[in-house]
Amino acid sequence: MRITNNRRPGTGTAFVDAIHDEVLLQFTTDQDGAILISYHLYDAKGALAGELEPQEVNGDPITVRCSGGETLLSISADPDKPIRYRLYNRSGLLLTASDGVKTRIYRSLRMENR
C-alpha cells in the first residue's frame, strides 16, 4: 500500500479488528482530495501505543513505535514508497503485517472500503 493522490474524494480504506469491531488504521480522501490518516495502534501486549484522529498526510514521515521499540507504522515522506505496518488488536493478537514488500494477513482482520 502506498499514499497516493489518485483516490476518489470521499473514499477510503480501513483495517478493522473484526473481533472488537474497531478501526485500527484508516486512510480516507476528503472532498478536496486531501489524504487523511487516523489510527489506534496497539502493541503485542494489547497496550495502546498510539492514536491519531483524522489528520491530513502532508508529506512528513510518520513512525509509530511501541515502548518496546517495535515499529507499528512507518510512512515515508516519499509517497511512492510502500507503507510498513504491524497491526495488533487490543488483545495483542497480530492481525496483519507488511514490510513494504510482503503482506501477511491473519484471521480477524477485515478490510473495508469507505
- Closest to 84 in 3D by CA, of 66, 102, 67, 69: 102
Between vectors from CA 65 to CA 62 and to CA 68, what angle results, nearest 5°? 170
H or E, element range at 107 = none
Q: What is the mean pLDDT of residues 60-87?
A: 93
Domain boundaries, the chain: 12-109
pTM of the model: 0.89
- φ/ψ (deg, to 5) at 111: -100, 135
CA dihedral 59, 27, 15, 93 (to 10 degrees): 30
**Cα distances (Å, whole numbers) of residue 80 to 1, 65, 100, 103, 109:** 9, 22, 11, 17, 25
pLDDT for the residue numbered 7: 59
The yes-or-no verdict on residue 35 having pLDDT over 80 is yes
The answer on pLDDT for 61 being more than 90 is: yes
